[in-house]
């Protein structure tokens, strides 16, 4: 089959990937209204084309946080890419470098910051979830800095992970041959005292145990009598607030992009907190259902930013015309991910 557009990869992925893996990448939260709306909203935006303009020379290069890239299209963070292919984040890093654009590596990647850096030159950002244990956060950030990453994309829309019903039905688990590589080599405090036969459940919202591999090869299972539930519940800090954006600036000199903004009010707060940029995102519609499509929220955020920081967008982008629409509405660039 000859691929002519990005959407056609969906059918191939559904055919080739195990159902549990495909559904993890493809599904959104609850009714998946926002998942559909992320895409449908683009179709309601129309062009007013002007004619007889010289377009014989086209330059798509742009600058993001001072870095020149070949086009205003960058790679968004996507967790656990080796579920889709053994090369996983390695291949994404090489592809982004070859295309002359930026890759953002997920905290929950199946390749570490060091491994991605070892693939060769490239401009890379590091996506960060803030854990309750700030020592773990500081270690992650320092490793990203040492590996040559150029910015932190702070995800702020996931104090609790979204209720993705496909994952519930499939009883999603990370395959046992994979691990969350960025947690290797970290001082995980209390986690060190736990048996190597355990693994941590990163999603307490699901009504079942969802094990996720960590580098020791064991599994922390969330059970009432394991003593782990309180520890696991604190892994993603549900008390995250604007003061933590300021705190993050005290432990790193890297610019911080606040990822997960949908309103003018939060745009102004992000700028006040020192954000170097804003990513308009609804987490690929995987968090809170019935929030606006990102392209619908973009103009409000751009107006509130008033040019003080760049505004980027992710969610629902499938074609170059979608990119153009986002740019026309004030985005400085867009991020795309392998999530469908």
CATH number at residue 96: 3.20.20.70
286 is in an annotated binding site: yes
CB 323 within 8 A of CB 294: no
152 within domain boundaries: yes
Would the annotation count 127 as a binding residue? Answer: yes
**Residues 161 and 260: beta-carbon distance below 8 Å:** no
Contact 286, 314 (CB under 8 A): no
CB atoms within 10 A of CB 288: 17
Which residues are catalytically annotated?
A: 283
Q: Is residue 97 part of a domain?
A: yes
Binding site annotation covers 106? yes
In DSSP terms, which residues pair with 257 in a beta bridge?
153, 277
Q: DSSP letters along 16-83, please? A: HS-HHHHHHHH--STT-HHHHHHHHHHHT-------S---SS----EEETTEEESSSEEEPP-S-GGG
The parent domain of residue 312 ranges over: 17-44+70-165+234-336
- Asked whether residue 257 is assigned to any structural domain, the reply reads yes
279 in Cβ contact with 313 (< 8 Å): yes
Contact 62, 332 (CB under 8 A): yes
CA distances (Å), 74 to each of 2, 88, 143, in order? 24, 17, 22
Check: CB of residue 55 under 8 Å from CB of residue 312: no
Domain count, the chain: 1
- Does 155 count as an annotated binding residue? yes
Q: Is residue 177 part of a domain?
A: no
**Can you give the pLDDT of all 340 residues of the chain as single tens digits?**
789 999 999 999 999 999 999 999 999 999 999 999 999 999 999 999 999 999 999 999 999 999 999 999 999 999 999 999 999 999 999 999 999 999 999 998 999 999 999 999 999 999 999 988 899 999 999 999 999 999 999 999 988 888 899 988 998 888 888 888 998 777 766 544 433 333 333 333 333 333 343 333 333 333 332 222 223 334 788 899 999 999 999 999 999 999 999 999 999 999 999 999 999 999 999 999 999 999 999 999 999 999 999 999 999 999 999 999 999 999 999 999 866 4
Residue 317 assigned to a binding site = yes
Is 259 marked within a binding site?
A: yes
In a domain, 298, yes or no: yes
Residue 223 lies in a domain: no
Asked if residue 140 belongs to a domain, the reply is: yes
Residue 30 lies in a domain: yes
Task: Provide DSSP, 262-293.
Answer: -SHHHHHHHHHTT-SEEEE--GGGTSSTTPPP
């Amino acid at each position: 089959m000859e691929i002519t557009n990005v959407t056609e990869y969906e059918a191939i992925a559904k055919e080739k990937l195990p159902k549990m893996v495909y559904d993890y990448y493809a599904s959104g939260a609850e009714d998946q209204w926002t998942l559909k709306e992320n895409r449908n909203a683009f179709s309601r935006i129309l062009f007013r084309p002007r004619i007889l303009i010289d377009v014989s020379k086209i330059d798509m290069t742009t600058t993001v946080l001072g870095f020149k890239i070949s086009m205003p299209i960058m790679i968004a963070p996507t967790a656990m890419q080796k579920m889709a292919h053994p090369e996983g984040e390695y291949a994404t890093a090489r592809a982004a470098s070859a295309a002359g654009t930026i890759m953002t590596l997920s905290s929950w990647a199946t390749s570490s910051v060091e491994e991605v850096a070892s693939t060769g030159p490239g401009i890379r950002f590091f996506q960060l979830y803030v854990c309750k244990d700030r020592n773990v956060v500081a270690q992650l950030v320092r490793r990203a800095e040492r590996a040559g990453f150029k910015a932190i994309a702070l995800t702020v829309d996931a104090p609790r992970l979204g209720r993705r019903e496909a994952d519930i039905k499939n009883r999603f688990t990370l395959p046992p041959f994979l691990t969350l590589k960025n947690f290797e080599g970290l001082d995980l405090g209390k986690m060190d005292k736990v048996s190597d036969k355990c693994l941590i459940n990163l999603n307490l919202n699901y009504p079942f145990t969802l094990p996720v591999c960590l580098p020791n090869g064991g599994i922390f299972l969330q059970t009432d009598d394991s003593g782990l539930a309180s520890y696991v519940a604190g892994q993603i800090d549900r008390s995250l607030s604007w003061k933590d954006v300021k705190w993050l600036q005290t432990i790193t000199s890297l610019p911080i992009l606040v990822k997960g903004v949908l309103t003018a009010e939060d745009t102004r707060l992000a700028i006040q907190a020192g954000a170097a940029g804003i990513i308009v995102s609804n987490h690929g519609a995987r968090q809170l259902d019935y929030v606006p499509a990102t392209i619908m929220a973009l103009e409000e955020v751009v107006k509130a930013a008033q040019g003080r920081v760049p505004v980027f967008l992710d969610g629902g982008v499938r074609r170059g015309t979608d990119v153009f629409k986002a740019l026309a509405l004030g985005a400085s660039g867009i991020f795309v991910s392998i999530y469908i």
